[in-house]
Amino acid sequence: MAKPILLSVDDDADVLRAIERDLRSHYGAEYRVIGSDSPEGALDLLKQLKVRSDTVALLLADQRMPRMDGVKFLQEAKEIYPDAKRALLTAYADTNAAISAINHANINYFFMKPWDPPADHLYPQLDDLLDDWQASYHPAFQGIRVLGTRWSPRSYELRDFLARSHVPYQWIDVELSAGDPETKRLLDALGPEASKLPVVLFPDGAKLLEGAPTEVAKKVGLRTVAQTSFYDLAIVGGGPAGLAAAVYGASEGLHTVMIEREAPGGQAGMSSRIENYLGFPTGLSGGDLARRAVVQAQRFGVEILAPQEAVGIRTEGSYRIVKMADGNEISCHALMIATGVQWRRLEAPGIDRLQGAGVYYGGGATEAIACKGETIYVIGGANSAGQAAMNFAKYADRVVILVRGTSLSSTMSQYLIDQIKEMPNISLWAHASVSEVHGDTHLEEISVLCSDTNKIERVPASAMFIFIGALPRTDWLGDVVERDGRGFVLTGPDLIRDGNRPKGWTLERDPFLLETNVPGLFAVGDVRHGSVKRVASSVGEGSVAVQFIHQYLSKV
């Protein structure tokens, strides 16, 4: 935690050095002492400190300064740091002005120059002022702050990325906090830059205007560029399957890199609660599971690149080469595809226009608190939808699960169905689908088609979270890897047709259970054709595949 600041202002260099010396000698252990030789420069400095979220405990200014006297400076400084104690340095001739300032300008104290000895004429009075200040002092948040608006897709993208990457941050909604004096002071300190939302403020004073996740990732130290160009094992995808493979691969001596397009954890990492994962009887959040797995992988030396996107692959002899979105390439002996699936797009007028502004795909954990007192809709009837509904029900006034079928029994685990029935503010709307969404700058209403009556009902909605099945994102594999008609990667026995191995297969053996049509290139988890869409099975596949990789590498 940064120390609170004692700021002295005097245009006389000798006096400024003297006051800084005396302040540091007595208060340096608890406070940071800063000096400025001009009131204008001090005001600019205070604005910078406000943007950095630094705390100012004391403002000590000389009365007689050109262009701006001490009283005027302290009055303007109060607008930036209203809780800081304010004191004047005065000569004998300025006594009346100092007394008037105390009576009319809310100055807390004045000191006569010279103040020797400080033990008698400076420290006792400052001790009283600072003790009084400490009594009501609440340390400011010292981490990353994100300023934006709730209905800004870019603001949502940033908050979602930071949350899923487990980077602590403070969210400041500039519209919702418009009446908050502290927010106003921060925006005033930013000046014209405050219009370039979202604004990301870092503890060291750096700013990102209209920042993107990749820029934030570089600033906070997340790795997006590989340290070397060759690895024993490269894993594309950072969900449960990819993380499990990374842990098992690296722990068994493989030089391993994992490439993740968004943030480690995948869709599972966005789940608000997983209650049927073995070994956690009270359940855990997807974020907690991802965080534990990332720490475990890093402990074994796994290099994690995120956010970073793989955009193509090719083979050169025994090498498998991955091309990145930034143009860099990584080569490896064994390559694993663990990219999972992405939510299927909901086709309805207005959806794309309002995405990130009330319409969201997936869990939307960062939006849960913002839904307090509102009515929200969860579209879909699988476990992920049920988990999200339970989480939103803690905050929203009403949660409506909207499904095409007659009930949840065919798509959702019974334990979740039972929990949902016990929640008085969750209701099920069956035989229903979204036909259109409405709103200018954000979602305001949705039109629901009722298949049993063939009527459309238009209802108010603050937010809508979509969980309507998932499809793999495998176009980037080109014609190198064989896939089924829906894009899922074929592996093992699924590649054998009429007793024949896949076209172009050059080895004497059949493809391993989790191996694709390219030797040494494996696929695990939800991206694989025929996989069981469960976290535990993905973890199992990721770990089992490492054994096949060892067998493959032993023959390379």
pLDDT, tens digit, for every residue of 26-39? 999 999 999 999 99
pLDDT of residue 122: 93
8 Å CB contact between 463 and 380: no
Asked if the model's pLDDT at residue 357 lies above 90, the reply is yes
Radius of gyration of the chain (CA): 30
Tokens in use for 8? Answer: 């002295």
Confidence of residue 481 (pLDDT cuts 50, 70, 90): very high
Site of tokens 């937010």: 463
8 Å CB contact between 213 and 161: yes
Q: What is the pLDDT of residues 462-472, one digit of tens each?
A: 999 999 988 89
Tokens in use for 222? Answer: 């997340």
8 Å CB contact between 408 and 435: no
Confidence of residue 173 (pLDDT cuts 50, 70, 90): very high
Q: For 136-169, where are the alpha helices, taking DSSP H only?
A: 153-164
Q: Which has more pLDDT, 178 or 517?
A: 517
How far from chain centre, in Å, is Cα 387?
A: 20
Fill in the DSSP letter of residue 511.
Answer: P
Distance CA 234, CA 258 (A): 6
Q: Which amino acid is at 259?
A: I
Residue 478, judged by CB atoms within 10 A of its CB (0-12, 13-18, 19+), counts as exposed
Residues in the chain: 556
Q: Which has more pLDDT, 544 or 168?
A: 544
8 Å CB contact between 166 and 291: yes
Asked if the model's pLDDT at residue 1 lies above 70, the reply is no
Q: Which has more pLDDT, 471 or 251?
A: 251
Site of tokens 């560029």: 225
Distance CA 304, CA 326 (A): 16
Among 108, 120, 72, 114, which Cα is nearest to 91's? 114
Tokens in use for 102? Answer: 């105390």
Distance CA 486, CA 468 (A): 15
In the chain the domains, ranked by start, together with CATH numbers, are 5-135 (3.40.50.2300), 144-220 (3.40.30.10), 230-342+471-553 (3.50.50.60), 359-468 (3.50.50.60)
- The percentage of the chain sitting over the pLDDT mark of 70, rounded to a whole number, equals 99
Confidence of residue 179 (pLDDT cuts 50, 70, 90): confident
pTM assigned to the model: 0.82
pLDDT of residue 513: 96
What is the residue-averaged pLDDT of the chain?
92
Pairing of the two strands 207-209 and 199-201: antiparallel
Site of tokens 């008609």: 485
What is the crossing angle of helices 240-251 and 286-299, to 10°? 20
Distance CA 512, CA 521 (A): 10
pLDDT of residue 376: 95
Average pLDDT over residues 515-534: 95
8 Å CB contact between 546 and 522: no
Q: What is the pLDDT of residues 118-146, one digit of tens each?
A: 999 999 999 999 999 998 888 878 889 99
Q: What is the pLDDT of residues 272-331, one digit of tens each?
A: 778 888 888 888 888 889 999 999 999 999 999 999 999 999 999 999 999 999 999 999
Helix, strand, coil tally for the chain in percent (to 5): 35, 25, 40
Fill in the DSSP letter of residue 515.
Answer: B
Pairing of the two strands 455-460 and 199-201: unpaired
Asked if the model's pLDDT at residue 100 lies above 80, the reply is no
Confidence of residue 208 (pLDDT cuts 50, 70, 90): very high
